[in-house]
């Protein structure tokens, strides 16, 4: 009788394992690129210590790079991980693209982070192989802000003058918080014709306590804010929306931004 019960138990456990829903894997963490190698089929182009960062949440990613000529490139999207394969789906890019393009990344875990390969990266009609090496940064504390957010409203107030920044400059901005780090990326028109655009970004660490996010940018397209302790008043209105307020003492300007969680 006992043998029969053991056999039935084993069958039940096996059936449960076979029918249980597959759990999505996560790449969540904060990473800094150490090196990339781009092959065009004839030769390698190599860049050591590129100023590029990437944050994965449980479901989304943001990467941003500050080039030596001060230009900024970035990408925002969602992802799924299965084994050593990550499939990223673009939501928005630094070129202004919001097409849902998919990219397949093959990952190899290392002692300090991971190596990423894209076997067929198409740019300007040409196909390349891309290899990138990342180091994982030490995590900070988890907070209620962790996740990917999109800017939905931004007002700039100076004295009695109020400017709708999103409408005036056709701005698109995302911000991600994860493990005590953040990245924000922005694309905005540079004049009233809205034909020329500028990308900007910031990356750094933060702590969140008593409704204040204290942010310390370590890299930014705005060199003047690097190393500053920026106090950001946060008002969380539920789990999926918050409003932030920053006062600039130098310009006597208050910036009020509203974000929605993706």
Domain count, the chain: 2
What tens digit of pLDDT does each residue of 133-148 get? 999 999 999 999 999 9
**187 Cβ contact partners less than 8 Å away, ≥ 6 residues apart:** 94, 96, 171, 172, 173, 197, 198, 199
Percent of all residues in the chain with a pLDDT value above 90, rounded to a whole number: 73
On the question of pLDDT at 17 being above 90, the answer is no
Highest mean pLDDT, choosing among 26-30, 118-122, 123-127 = 26-30
pLDDT for 121: 77
CATH code where residue 126 lies: 2.40.128.490
In which domain, by residue range, is 185 found? 147-261
DSSP letter, residue 25: B
Average pLDDT of the segment spanning 147-154:
97
Residue 239 lies in a domain: yes
Question: Residues 59, 154: one domain?
Answer: no
Residue 234 lies in a domain: yes
Q: Domain end: 136, 162, 179, which one? A: 136
Question: Residues 97, 160: one domain?
Answer: no
Percent of all residues in the chain with a pLDDT value above 70, rounded to a whole number: 91
**Which stretches does DSSP call E strand in 49-171?**
52-56, 60-66, 72-82, 85-93, 102-109, 113-123, 126-136, 147-158, 161-164
Output 98 or 28, whichever has higher pLDDT: 28
Tell me the pTM: 0.87
Q: Domain end: 136, 162, 189, which one? A: 136
pLDDT for 11: 39
Q: Domain end: 108, 136, 164, which one? A: 136
Q: What is the distance between the alpha carbons of residues 132 and 71, in angstroms, rounded to a whole number?
A: 20
Lowest mean pLDDT among 30-34, 191-195, 234-238: 191-195
Output 16 or 141, whichever has higher pLDDT: 141
CATH code where residue 222 lies: 2.40.128.20
**233 Cβ contact partners less than 8 Å away, ≥ 6 residues apart:** 211, 212, 244, 245, 246
Question: Residues 105, 208: one domain?
Answer: no
Contact by Cβ (8 Å): 120, 132? no
pLDDT for 134: 97
What tens digit of pLDDT does each residue of 67-96 get? 999 999 999 999 999 999 999 999 999 999
pLDDT for 24: 53
- Go through the chain and tell me how many residues it has: 262
């Amino acid at each position: 009788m006992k043998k029969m019960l053991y056999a039935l138990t084993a069958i039940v456990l096996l059936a449960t394992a076979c029918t249980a829903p597959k759990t999505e894997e996560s790449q969540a963490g904060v990473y800094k690129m150490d090196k990339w190698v781009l092959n065009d089929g004839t030769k390698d182009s190599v860049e050591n210590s590129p100023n590029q960062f990437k944050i994965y949440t449980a479901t989304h990613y943001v990467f941003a790079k500050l080039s030596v000529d001060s230009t900024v490139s970035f990408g925002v999207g969602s992802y799924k991980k299965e084994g050593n394969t990550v499939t990223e789906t673009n939501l928005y890019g630094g070129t202004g693209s919001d097409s849902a393009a998919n990219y397949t990344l093959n990952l190899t875990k290392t002692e300090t982070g991971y190596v990423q390969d894209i076997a067929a990266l198409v740019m300007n009609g040409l196909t390349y192989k891309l290899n990138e090496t990342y180091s994982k940064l030490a995590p900070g504390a988890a907070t209620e802000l962790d996740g990917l957010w999109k800017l939905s409203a931004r007002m700039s107030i100076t004295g009695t003058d109020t400017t709708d920044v999103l409408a005036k400059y056709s701005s698109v901005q995302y911000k991600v918080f994860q493990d005590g780090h953040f990245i924000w990326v922005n694309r905005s028109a540079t004049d009233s014709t809205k034909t020329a655009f500028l990308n900007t970004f910031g990356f750094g660490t933060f702590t969140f306590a008593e409704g204040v996010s204290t942010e310390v940018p370590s890299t930014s397209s705005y060199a003047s804010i690097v190393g500053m302790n920026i106090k950001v008043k946060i008002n969380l209105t539920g789990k999926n929306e918050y409003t932030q307020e920053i006062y600039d003492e130098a310009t006597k300007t208050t910036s009020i931004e509203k974000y929605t969680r993706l």
